[in-house]
Structure 1
Amino acid sequence: MKPAAEASSLSEPMNSSPSVSPSSSLSPSHFSSHSPPPPDSVERSWIVAIALAAFALRFLNLLAIRENDPFFWYPSVDPLFYHQWAMRIAGGDWLGEGVFLQGPLYPYLLGALYGVTGPDLFIPRVLNALAGALAPVLVWWVARRLFDRRVALLAAAMVAVYAMFVFYGGSLLIVNLLLPLTMIVLWSTLGAAERATPGAWLVAGLAIGMAALARPTLLLYGPFVLAWLFWVLRGRCGRARRGFLALWLGAGLVLAIAPSTLRNAWVAGDPVLISASGGMNFFNGNNPDATGTHTVPSLFDRSTADHPDEQNAMYRTYAEKQLGRPLTASETSNYWLGQAVDYIRSHPADALRLMVRKFLLFFNANEVWNNRSFELTRQFSWVLGMPLLNFGVVGPLAILGLMVTARRWRELLPLYAMIGVYLGNAMLFFVLSRYRAPVVPILMIFAASALVWIFDAWPRRVGRLALAGVALAVLGLAIRIPIFPPNLSMAYYNLGNKYQSLGRHDEAVTQYRNSLSINGDYISAHNNLALSLEKGSHPRGEALAAWARVKAMGDRRGMARYVERATRHLRDLAEQ
């Protein structure tokens, strides 16, 4: 290893081979004494500049959407759910009612913030921007433990200018917390393996537990870390010592999640570890109507299932009706888990095809949305209109990076495991862009390693570079296959609904017409278009024609409520 003072140029390789880390040993004991050198002034300047650029992009985006985006001050669906939950906490209702049905960490932090600042929807987003500036620093810190500083700085820069991270920073969503938390888990795990002290493993357990309070499926990372502890320290500690350190890891995990478990037992008499929505989500992702992403099963009225509370109530009511008795939250979750398992057992071929589809969706360039569409939100922010980095670039490079670093798999196991946790979550449940987002920084580390490998291989390895170029081209085309094209009809419909709820009916009309230009059979869009035409400044004849279309569609489909509503409005308009 060269001393830090000698490594003054960022273009100078720190290793003799582009696929070998600063510590070239493949032994698990490499963590014992090969921590990276402190960053020199050049490297520190670069990471500060990257963090400042990340904050600037996110803050400028906030200023733009604050003025233009109707969802900014009037959130919907999940952001509204978290906002309302946080408002109750800020109002003194710290325990709430029933078992947690979502990870509680984000709403409790948001509620604590509201308790200090009031329910100002701008301040949490400023904190999102600060978290977004911290994320590249954490990625840099993790990457430089395993690669050289060029990889670390490139990965950090990718995080700073990634379009979806800037986009999500404008919303009240858990993803903004999970991005830094995921990297903190990796940082603490790698640090614990290096130091091998009780305190370090306690911190690692606390980090995993806190991340699980935001996304409960991250508990799956715990068993890996436990097994990895016994493996990575086997050359440095005896079995008894490793068992002692494992107890500290477990203690940290328990300390983090115990308040949630005790609260569920105290409030609801149902000692659920964190939340009790796993069964419903598992059924959502594994049923005859499942598409690989989030869709409400046809068992339910999809038009009344926008809010998470409404969805949870639907699932519970249906399960209680089927079983003929009241159910606890965990019993409801277990019922739907059983329904999904029954479907998989009775339709193994369909279930396998669905799992393959989820795998492909996870690595697809399309950003699968269910709250807000990135494509539509771009019209409200000049920042999002910039040519920022996207998964279509990161994905192929990351896969190439995984290939060229494969011989270092022992050192990179913690990164593989975290990718596996997020990929496994997607394949078990369903794929959404915001569920994939927290693992993208790890993929960026591999993408950066691919770029450094290409740089170092030129011009000595022209043959390998040619193969890499072909691989990148094939991967770039493959991940752009439209497996699940963006449902912009629904996105325009949601935007129209927001304008309608704000009394901005003429703007709502434009969005409903955009929706219907894509899907002309969408009766709910026809219904809401007719309503906004009636209440806006358009001629009465347009509203009459729109309601007549709704009535005709309702008659053809046997949808009595649409027929009744259209008939009533047609009568009222005729009497005017």
Structure 2
Amino acid sequence: MRNFIKHNLLILILGLAVLLRVAAAVYMGDTVQVLPGTSDQVSYHNLALRVLGGHGFSFGENWWPATRANEPTAHWSFLYTLYLVGVYALFGPHPLVARLIQAVIVGLLQPWLTYLLGKQLFNARVGLWAAFLNAIYAYFIYYGGTLMTEPFYITAILGALLLAIRLVQPPDENTRRGLLAVGLGLLLGAAVLLRQLFLLFIPFLLLWMFWASLRRHSALKWVHYVLPLAVVAAMIAPITIYNAQRFGQFVLLNTNSGYAFYWGNHPYYGTHFQPILSNEEYQQLLPQDQLNLDEAALDKELLRRGMQFVLEDPGRYALLSLSRIPAYFEFLPSSDSGTISNLSRVLSFGILWPFMLAGLIMAWRKRSHRFWDALASPKFLLVLFALVYTVIHVLTWTLIRYRLPVDATLLVFAGVCFDGIAVYLFQRKKPAG
């Protein structure tokens, strides 16, 4: 039995991950209701039904945040909406089916990709620990069954980081870099289509790839940078054209960045950011004289005004941004949160952040190479992503669920810590001589 577990540990971990996420999906059921941190799934469900009914990407009534009935919307991810449309077309409008399919897919892929990252950066033991932590991470279990972009988005990010790392390794006769570059482009494109904010990280990823290949003498060719970008552009282009036809103006992907930046930096907050206001408060903060604009035009106007808030009082903006840091890394129970939110928070980041931090220190403790070589190491890419992604949200808008992709990468370092503890305990039990 012990040998069976040892040789099939990864399979058991993947099975556990699927089981827990399926259980969460079944708990959420075949209806769509607002649970803590999941209000977006109501919009995705209703938008998918509208598309399936032949009405296109629109809502039959005035909808959040400021979309008028029967007018085009690009506020929501087209890719995730089409996932729901496909499931509903095949199985009927049953949210539970979409939840279960999603739970199985991400339950298998997220821990597996985490294992591969841990193995690639450190060793198979670290990979197994990291995969196990991903499997039992309360936030990933909870969101695994919600009809939102988070589960697939995190999966795409983990896959993209893994392929970028493999692409810069010195090639051997079995390495097909062209396929790796195309695969990287597909995963980057999927991440962008699920959440356009990820576009901001792609330049940092390419810069790291260039530096890593240079320091490792892996000599990536220009085509290995162009191919991923070309694939991403090809995935974005149809949506951009579709938006131009509907709105009569250029809209790259989604009409949500202006809303987020405007609300996130409104003088209403002063210098203390509040992660969540009521829907009524958000509506009151919108410029009432601009609500006659369509969704795309209003998004651009809100972005302009949000930038104006920053330029008019950069000191307030700096203090407001700093005030977002505690909200971003919140891990203690709160009287303002319900039972589900508090349990999810504590049974994930609340317990594991010390191990993530300790693992980061352990991973960088032995400085066997120079500073510039350290920046080219694969483990630095994970740190780079965590830093850039955190800064983006600190400067714009912060919610705890926006931190989850960072949690997913830092679990690899938590695996380093758990492996170190396990090795230490094993050596202590080992008889002397």
| TM category, shorter | 0.7 to 0.9
* Matched-pair identity in %: 25
Residue ranges of structure 1 left out of the alignment (5+ in a row): 1-8, 11-40, 67-71, 306-310, 379-383, 462-576
SS in 1 for 2:198: helix
Matched AA of 2:184: A
CA offset at residue 330 of structure 1?
Answer: 4.3
Are 2:12 and 1:49 aligned? yes
Alignment of 1:474-513 (within 5 A): none
Asked if 2 retains the 8 angstrom alpha-carbon contact of 1:202 and 1:249, the reply is yes
Q: Distance in 1 between matches of 2:31 and 2:87?
A: 17
Does structure 2 conserve the Cα–Cα contact (< 8 Å) formed by 1:281 and 1:429? yes
Tell me the distance in 1 between the aligned counterparts of 2:27 and 2:254: 36
Give, in angstroms, the shift of residue 319 of structure 1. 5.5
* Residues 141-160 of structure 1: per-residue CA shift (max 9 Å, x gap): 12211111111111111111
Equivalent of 1:211, from 191, 198, 203? 191
Q: 1:418 to 1:369 in 2, by over 3 A?
A: farther
- 1:260 partner letter: I
Alignment of 1:88-99 (within 5 A): 88-94=50-56, 98-99=72-73
1:137/1:43 CA distance change after superposition, 3 Å: farther
From the superposition, tell whether residues 302 and 388 of structure 1 become closer, same or farther in structure 2 (CA, over 3 Å): closer
Aligned to 1:441: 408
**Please, which of 151, 155, 172 is the counterpart of residue 180 of structure 1?**
155
**Is contact 2:352-2:414 (8 Å) kept?**
yes
Q: Which amino acid aligns with 1:356?
A: L
Supply the distance in 2 between the matched residues of 1:90 and 1:421 (Cα, whole angstroms). 38
Match of 2:370 in 1: none
In structure 2, the partner of 1:508 is none
Flag the 1:125–1:271 CA change in 2: closer, same or farther, 3 A. same
Q: Which residue of structure 2 lines up, in the alignment, with residue 103 of structure 1?
A: 77
Higher relative contact order, structure no. (Cα contacts within 8 Å, ≥ 6 residues apart) = 2
* Structure-1 residue corresponding to 2:314: 348
Paired letter, 1:189: A
- Aligned-pair distance for 1:333? 2.4
1:253 matched residue in structure 2: 232
8 Å CA contact 1:79, 1:172 repeated in 2: yes
User: Match for residue 155 of structure 1?
Assistant: 130
Name the structure 2 match of 1:545: none
Equivalent residues in 2 for 1:535-546, closer than 5 Å: none
Q: For the structure 1 residues 225 and 367, does the alpha-carbon distance in structure 2 shift closer, same or farther, using more than 3 Å as the test?
A: farther
CA 1:52 to 1:455, structure 2 compared with 1: closer, same or farther past 3 Å? Answer: closer
Q: How does 1:109-124 map to 2 (within 5 A)?
A: 109-124=83-98
Distance 2:359 2:154 in 1: 21
- The 1-side partners of 2:348 and 2:267 are apart by 32
* 1:230 aligned onto 2:210: yes
Find the aligned partners of 2:276 and 2:107 in 1 and give their Cα distance.
33
The size of the alignment, in residue pairs, is: 393
* Pairing partner for 1:59 from 22, 33, 42: 22
For the 8 Å contact 1:257–1:274, the answer to whether it is kept is yes
Measured after TM superposition, the shift of residue 165 of structure 1 is: 1.7
What aligned pairs does 1:124-163 form with structure 2 within 5 A after superposition? 124-134=98-108, 135-163=110-138
Letter in 2 for 1:223: P
Question: Structure 1 residue aligned with 2:243, among 264, 275, 282?
Answer: 264
Secondary structure, counterpart of 2:95 in structure 1: coil
The Cα shift of 1:258 comes to 1.6
Q: Distance in 2 between matches of 1:252 and 1:103?
A: 18
Q: TM-score, normalised by structure 1?
A: 0.62
2:418 corresponding residue in structure 1: 451
Distance change in 2, residues 1:91/1:357 (3 Å): same
Of stretches 282-291 and 109-118 in structure 1, the one that deviates more from structure 2 is 282-291
Contact 2:44 2:76 in 1 (8 A): no
Offset at 1:445? 0.8
One-letter amino acid matched to 1:346: E
CA distance in 1, matches of 2:349, 2:261: 26
- Match of 2:397? 430
The whole-number CA distance in structure 1 between the counterparts of 2:140 and 2:166 is: 26
CA distance, structure 1, for counterparts of residue 404 and residue 295 of structure 2: 29
- The one-character-per-residue Cα deviations of 1:64-120 (angstroms, maximum 9, x if unpaired) are 443xxxxx6242441110001111222234565535112221111111111111111
**Counterparts in 2 of 1:47 and 1:87: CA distance versus 1, 3 Å:** same
Report what 2:349 is aligned to. Answer: 391
2:382 to 415, 437, 441: 415
Gap regions ≥5 residues in structure 2: 59-70, 170-174, 368-373, 429-433
**Separation in structure 2 between the aligned mates of residue 166 and residue 392 of structure 1, nearest angstrom:** 15
Distance 1:222 1:208 in 2: 8
CA distance in 1, matches of 2:356, 2:103: 25
The 1-side partners of 2:235 and 2:137 are apart by 31
Q: Compared with structure 1, are the counterparts of its residues 319 and 152 closer, same or farther at alpha carbon in structure 2 (3 Å cutoff)?
A: farther
CA displacement 1:191-222 (0-9 Å, x = unmatched): 32234722311221221111011111111221
TM-score (norm 2): 0.80
Question: Whose Rg is larger?
Answer: 1
Instruction: Tell whether the 8 Å contact from 1:401 to 1:450 is kept in structure 2 after alignment.
Output: yes
Aligned position for 1:536:
none
Cα RMSD, aligned residues only: 3.2
User: Residue deviations 1:296-350, cap 9 Å, x none?
Assistant: 5xxxx94386xxxxx6x984x73526xxxx6454442232223222322333333
SS in 1 for 2:181: helix
Name the CA shift for 1:63/1:226 in 2 (closer, same or farther; >3 Å): closer
